[in-house]
A and B are shown apart, each in its own frame.
Chain A
Amino acid sequence: MIQTIFNGVVTGLLVALPALTLALTFSVLRFANFAIGAMLTAGAYTVYAFNAGLGWPLLPSAIAGCVVGGIMAVLIDAVVYRRLRDRSGVTLLVASMGVAFVLENAVRFIAGNSPAGYQVDPARPLRVGEHLRINHEQLVVAAVSLVALLAIWALFRLTPLGRAMRAVADNPSLATARGVDANRVIGTTWFIAGVLATAAGTLIGLDATLDPQMGWNYVIQVFAATILGGIAHPMAAVFGALTLGVIAELSTLVLPPHYRPLVAFAVLTMLLLVRPWGVFGTARIAK
């Protein structure tokens, strides 16, 4: 039981980081970035290029990959989304589908279709007490996710940049009149989203293997977790991810493991019937 809950928390944290990324871009830019899965894949492979291609250890590879991932996200914004800034969220959603196809196929073109893995030293699992076994990868996933979540919370709530991001989310034209350079704030938001997506992609690649479909496999879970928490609230997405992760893992105690996604989505559907705006979401103050 303890092992199951722990596994659920780690699975949840794995989804939490991309869910946070999705909620971050949604809350500032007001559109659902469908390319989140492809960003995870592209990020994971960028790190792989440093790690396996150049032979760097994983940590410096991940740091370099995050920077490249951030820059890539800013470039995508400049080339695609910036031109569509005044359009509806649906137009941007469709544009992000296009971005997803391009990114995923670029990865396929460069890295090929076969699965790959990071070059890391194998480590023995830790034993805690009698019932809990913790993999090295699980520890890394938990630590990186928690640090990233805390950093984003602090950025959003405690810094002038976070305030400017929330202001642009609320009323971009008023933010401009108050002296805020909205384009710079949006660019920074994309950079952070690119860094987070790369970190998340790396963790997913570390947990399993890398393949060009890896991000796509997470898209639905990420959207589910984000909506469960309330899509306009970055931290609530984390709660959504953890809940889905734990519930899905607990279901394996009574159901065969391949029913995990079914259980998670059944919970999501029921919750949406009761609270369509998410658990922590409130009807946003629009005026």
Chain B
Amino acid sequence: MTLALQLDEISAGYHGKTIIHGVSLHVPAGGALTVIGPNGSGKSTLLKAVVGLLPLESGTLTLGASRIDPLDAPRRARLGLGYVPQEHNVFPNLSVLDNLKLGWEGVHGGRRDSASQRDRLDAVLALFPEIATRLRTAAGLLSGGQRQMAAMASALMQQPSVLVLDEPSAGLSPRNAALLFERIADVRRTGVTLLMIEQNVRLGLTVADHGVVLVSGRVRQQRPAQALLQDTDLPRLFFGHEPATPSEATVST
């Protein structure tokens, strides 16, 4: 089994306070891994450390055959790491088309309108027909669902081998979230490896092979996604006790 992305014993945090403690995750090429966990468990911090927006305190990161932990974020992107943050995930004052072109140019350099760039644009727009009609619109004016798709399309223009998604369904209506996850499944079928964190446990685990429960910056469980999905014990895994309030109980569904 070839690994697309390998996190070995990584620790990271802010201002000297460690939030991620020795996390190890292995994502096989073409696979999909979803990290779930309660708020404040360090999920977004983990992804920021992977893409290079937050320095590691210790541990190693390997993308394909390359060690990437000594590299900065732009170099990791050029080696094949695509990233869609949860918020501020588009350039709001740039048109959707400019957002997409920038995704290509950031990684492939600024050669103008090459044939391969146009081919890539066509392929990406075929995955996200919803934004194909809105190419001239400023990305900041898109609706929540379309903006999320534009963000993902822009990251896909990089032709990443691994796509890192931070809570793609955050702030979306259930219908838009379901539509977005259909698109994520389509993206997966193109051979892109996915590492994702997701608050909607059911949606997040349905597109994944493996699920990881992260609690207080440590891996609490790592199992096949289907097994985790059917686990009635999830609230206990999340909170370390039986669900005390209805709101805690609903987190797992």
Which A residues have a C-beta under 8 Å from some C-beta of B?
159-161, 163-164, 166-167, 169-171, 173-182, 284-287
Contact = CB atoms under 8 A, between A and B. Distances in A.
- The 4 A-B residue pairs with the shortest CB-CB distance, nearest first, are A160-B110, A179-B106, A285-B140, A179-B77
Interface residues of B, number: 34
Interface string B206-234: 00000000000000000000000000000
Contact of A177 (B85, B87, B105, B138): B85
A180 B105 CA distance: 8
27 contacts: A160-B109, A160-B110, A164-B105, A164-B110, A166-B93, A167-B102, A170-B91, A171-B90, A173-B53, A173-B88, A174-B88, A174-B90, A174-B91, A175-B102, A176-B53, A176-B73, A176-B74, A177-B73, A177-B83, A178-B77, A178-B154, A178-B158, A180-B105, A285-B92, A285-B141, A286-B140, A287-B88
A287 B85 CA distance: 13
B201 interface: no
Nearest to A181: B74
Contacts of A163: 94, 98, 101-102, 105
A286 B87 CA distance: 11
B74 to A, nearest CB: 5
Contacts, number: 90
A170 B78 CA distance: 21
Nearest to A169: B93
Interface string B7-25: 0000000000000000000
B53 A177 contact: yes
A181 B98 CA distance: 17
B87 A287 contact: yes
A179 B82 CA distance: 9
A178 B104 CA distance: 8
Given A163-B98, A285-B138, 12 more contacts: A160-B101, A164-B110, A169-B93, A171-B88, A173-B88, A174-B85, A175-B102, A175-B106, A177-B53, A177-B73, A181-B74, A284-B93
B112 interface: yes
A284 B91 CA distance: 12
A159 B110 contact: yes
B73 A160 contact: no
